[in-house]
Chain A
Amino acid sequence: MTTLYKFHGGVHPPTHKAQSTRTPIVPLPLPAKLVIPFHQHVGNIAKPLVQVGDHVLKGQLIGMPEDGISSAIHASTSGTISEIGMQVVAHASGLPDLCATLSPDGKDEWIPKTGMDFRSASAADVRQVLRLAGVVGLGGAVFPSDMKLRVGKHKIKTLVLNGAECEPYITCDDMLMRERAAEIIKGAEIMRWALEAEQVLVGIEDNKPEAIAAMQQAALASADDIKVIAVPTLYPGGGAKQLIRVLTGIEVAAGVRSTDKGVQCFNVATAQSIYRAVQCGEPLLSRIVTVTGNVKQAQNLEVLIGTPVQDVVNFAGVLPDTDSYIMGGPMMGLPLPGAEVSIVKAANCIIASSPQLFPPAPPAMPCIRCTRCAEVCPSELQPQDLYWFAKAKDFGKAQEFSLFDCIECGACSYVCPSHIPLVQYYRFAKSEIWARESDKTSADAARERFEFREYRIEREKQEKAEKLAAKEKAAAEAKLAAAKLAEAQATTNVTPPPQTEAEAKIQAAIEQAKLQAAAVKPKNTEQLTPQQQAEIAEIEARRTHIHALASSEAESPKE
């Protein structure tokens, strides 16, 4: 048996999972329109490849990954692109982002799909396939999976598959593991091969016995060393760092990559998408979404990316007193600006919320330093200190107390008896610090440009001054030379009688030098004979021809 480790803190919120695991996964019927954002992943926004009016097939690439960290976007079904513009997306700000609106034609026609045998390809090829298939982390972090499959200088000993799903209400991974365990395991094999990992550990919380059984069954059929391990149910045990700690004992600090410690962690749904992309040639077009909360029939649906949330909740029978929707779980979820936003790759769960289900928090009292928050923090931080510093906007101290180690799991806010919205303070502090850092970078750049400008102006002034000085100097010299020449001519007309023999010799030498100089100088450049002129013209013509040849060679590309 693998030894299991513990992580500090953690809470036990009521799970509310039974209501959505009664029925199997059902595909959601095709919606009337799909709104597909181009930015559903960490990194650069995908570049649109289509225009309004284009007809696209299911799985067709409509957004090309940009350079660096980026991923692809595809048409989730066949139809026509009716709009490309800014629409409200599932983001905390409620601000719009670039989206493609797709009107389905009902045929659901696929592009030609070609799978590959990954064992006969190179890891780089497999990664390229995944990049163009738009496969990103489906646990919620939506980091491009192809980049996570890169092997750096550290050997990867363990591949961890995250089937913990620790947040209440969410059951999409649970149902996926129950129904498609074989595909997940096959995906794990591909990832293990790409990372050259020695072993695969699948962590599943022990409140999912059916999923554990299904995955264990599927793992037996695999030739690879894949162990399915039940971990204790404790929120936030599904956090990547927490699961790595529980399964391997390794503590990956903030700012350190887990690959530096020889571990890489993926969500089970990502593993399944990797299998479908590599083996079946299917890009990431849909995902399992748990729809639960204030609905008649809580269930798990297979939803196409870009489906409006309204369609999803209507299918589950949303009740009339629902006043808002949450994307994600009740601990870390995002309140949606409205039901018109669409399902994106990160949408693992939609909770229909009503004032009865999630009553508004009682008014916050002052902090009484009870340190219940510090007791439950999985990152072993001091949330009350971070709260005081964030409240006072003392960002330097907040960073000293490891603000950026906070994973925003919400356990601290959950236990606070004064009901202080702690995570809001940390989010505020983090975004302020990032904004200040970017301001500082711009200010430093501006200072550099300003200083260079000053230097450039100085340099131009100096160059001008030098030129002017040189000109004046030349003019002065010319004047001096002319004066000397005039003087010399004046002196030759009146040759004084040589006073000594030496002086007479010097005089003779000077005369001789003058005659020699005259002999060297071209004597006749003015009156040219026609023959000489013709010769000169021929030479000039040859010269220009050579020049023309040289410049044309430079323009035409070399072979």
Chain B
Amino acid sequence: MSAFFSPFISKPDSVSAIMLKVMLALLPGIALYVWYFGPAILVSITLASITALSTEAAMLKIRRRPIMPFLKDNSALLTGWLLALSIPPLAPWWLVVVGTAFCIAIAKHLYGGLGNNPFNPAMIGYAVLIVSFPVQMTHWITPHGMGATELSFVQQLQYIFGGTLPDGLKLDAVTMATPLDTLKTQLHLSLPVSEILTQPIFGRLAGHGSEMVAIGFLIGGLYLLATRIISWHLPVAYLGTLFAVAGIFHLLDPAHYVTPLFHWFSGAAMLGAFFILTDPISSPTTHKGKIIFAAGAGLITYLIRVFGSFPDGMAFATLLMNICVPLIDAYTQPKVFGKKEAKP
């Protein structure tokens, strides 16, 4: 019999269309990033995109799979973009390349390629980089208008690709720790929160500049929700749990714990809620499961941020919950039509 069977019609949707829409949703955040921090991030994104596509092609060749259909599905591109957005824009070119290559080759293809990776590839890349190259990973670019020395775009390119800075400048002068990192170190110095937040690095809600980028990602995330590319369960559960836990600690001890909104708009919380946790391949398949998964990730993010040694816990929270996904799926299977005990 020929390959002609029902259904003969299908919705005009495809994996590449979905991935493209997600990348579109990242654009507001990227635009605000460029506005507040300069165009260096675009260099990272470009580097990551090229590395992602070439690594994907190479791995497909080694695995003897058809190359073009998989390259065209934009999933590697998206992974590259997400990793680029998670690491400092002034990172040396080899950092981006190594990270992206690791994501695609090891976290994606060694597990079987598209659809088979149990861990979020971008977060695996991030985790590898932050553990292996902690210095480079904690030197973030300074936002505009903070009075710090700023490099021109050409100088930034020189640093990224050549590793050289203009004469007399040290790396520390042109980079800084993230707002979350700063908060953590200052808290260790026993300064109360109210005093810490007066520093110029902090804006209205969270870190100056990075809070706007977070808002950009929130806008993108709302677009994804409106076009039903993601369902509300993951972002709402993650942000809700983060808000609740942060809120409890803040209410108990405002001097040592910042507001929940601070947590929402700093670090990778917004990016994570809408773009990273929602990676369909490594998250649960049931609605209840998604809520549990995201709630767990929210809790772990908070714990690592406040009590752990890393400034942001998004990546590790994602990876730790990825491990639990098969168990979560097994225990949250919904009841089938006609086999529910409760009356409809």
Contacts and interface: CB of A to CB of B under 8 A. Distances in A.
B16 to A, nearest CB: 9
A360 B3 contact: yes
Nearest to A326: B8
B336 A418 contact: no
Nearest to A335: B4
Interface string B310-344: 00000000000000000000000111111110001
A360 to B, nearest CB: 7
Interface residues of A, number: 63
Nearest to B13: A417
Interface string B140-181: 000000000000000000000000000000000000000000
Contact of A8 (B3, B280, B333, B337): B337
B5 interface: yes
B15 A413 contact: no
Nearest to A376: B11
A370 B280 contact: yes
Interface majority SS on B: helix, strand, loop or mixed? loop
Interface string A50-71: 0000000000000000000000
Given A413-B10, A421-B5, A380 B335 contact: yes
Interface residues of B, number: 39
B251 interface: no
Contacts of A333: 6, 8
A369 B285 contact: yes
A361 B344 CA distance: 37
Contacts of A254: 336-338
Interface stretch (B111-119, B199-207, B266-274): B111-119
Contact of B5 (A369, A418, A424): A424
Contacts of A381: 336-337
Contacts of B286: 371, 374, 382
A427 to B, nearest CB: 8
A368 B73 CA distance: 11
A286 to B, nearest CB: 25
A358 interface: yes
B1 A369 contact: no
Interface in A412-460: 413-419, 421, 423-424
Contacts of A367: 115
Contact of A369 (B6, B280, B338): B280
A405 interface: yes
B11 A414 contact: yes
Given A335-B4, A360-B3, A251 B337 contact: yes
B205 to A, nearest CB: 32
B78 to A, nearest CB: 11
A333 B4 CA distance: 11
B17 interface: yes
- Quick one: which of B13, B113, B334 has the most chain A CB within 10 A? B13
A363 interface: yes
A380 B337 contact: yes
Interface in A380-400: 380-382, 384-385
A416 B7 CA distance: 11
A442 to B, nearest CB: 27
Contact of B14 (A366, A379, A417): A417
Contact of A415 (B13, B333, B336): B13
Nearest to B7: A410
Interface in A179-229: none
Given A251-B344, A368-B115, A415-B13, A331 B7 contact: yes
A358 B4 CA distance: 10
A148 to B, nearest CB: 19
B134 interface: no
Contacts of B8: 326, 330-331, 333, 353, 358
Interface of A: 5, 7-8, 11, 13-14, 92-94, 168, 241, 245, 249, 251-254, 256, 324, 326, 328, 330-335, 353, 358, 360-363, 365-371, 374-375, 378-382, 384-385, 401-402, 405, 410, 413-419, 421, 423-424
Given A332-B6, A382-B333, A405-B336, 17 more contacts: A245-B344, A251-B337, A254-B338, A328-B6, A333-B6, A360-B4, A362-B14, A368-B114, A368-B281, A369-B281, A369-B285, A370-B18, A379-B337, A380-B337, A382-B286, A402-B339, A415-B13
27 contacts: A5-B344, A92-B1, A241-B338, A245-B337, A249-B344, A251-B337, A251-B338, A254-B336, A328-B6, A331-B9, A333-B8, A353-B8, A358-B9, A360-B3, A360-B4, A365-B15, A368-B75, A368-B281, A371-B286, A380-B334, A381-B337, A382-B333, A401-B333, A413-B7, A415-B10, A415-B11, A415-B13
Interface of B: 1-11, 13-15, 17-18, 69-70, 73, 75, 113-116, 231, 280-281, 283, 285-286, 333-340, 344
